[in-house]
Amino acid sequence: QLQLVESGGGLVHAGGSLRLSCAASGRTFYSLAWFRQAPGKEREFVAGCNWSGEIKHYADSVKGRFTISRDNGKNTVDLQMNSLEAEDTAVYYCAADRGTVIRRMDYGYWGQGTQVTVSS
């Protein structure tokens, strides 16, 4: 049974940091990514990486502040978020796909999401 389980969300002051983690069980994937959805907005791609973790893509809004990393031994993908801003407040979702296109919206498998709230 495939499962993607996120952890690490919470409340943080602007300028602070949080680290999200996603554990994937059941199978391995070429692409792992993080998305987010703020209230009243569409879900957006945040960051993603390939199998080795060497190829990474970031949304322009998070470049230089967020870092995605992958541990295939543990089958996890983390998102280190620094210099958080109020605009980063959203539900963050982990996603996985066997396809090789990392920056895409139609990932095949999704976690349930974890709330990140940044207070200004």
pLDDT tens, position by position, 83-100? 999 999 999 999 999 888
Task: Count CA within 13 A, CB hemisphere, residue 68.
Answer: 28
What would the mean pLDDT of 24-46 be, rounded to a whole number?
92
Q: Is the pLDDT of residue 28 over 90?
A: no
pLDDT (0 to 100) of residue 1 = 66
Decide: 34 and 81 in contact? Cβ < 8 Å: no
What would the mean pLDDT of 21-26 be, rounded to a whole number?
90
Higher pLDDT, 46 or 53: 46
Q: In 3D, which of 109, 70, 111 has the Cα closest to residue 94? A: 111
How far apart are alpha carbons 19 and 106 in whole angstroms? 24
Percent of the chain whose predicted confidence (pLDDT) is above 70: 99
pLDDT (0 to 100) of residue 88 = 98
pLDDT (0 to 100) of residue 109 = 93
DSSP 8-class letter at 40: T
What would the mean pLDDT of 31-50 be, rounded to a whole number?
97
pLDDT (0 to 100) of residue 27 = 77
What would the mean pLDDT of 8-19 be, rounded to a whole number?
98
- pLDDT band for position 25 (cuts 50, 70, 90): confident
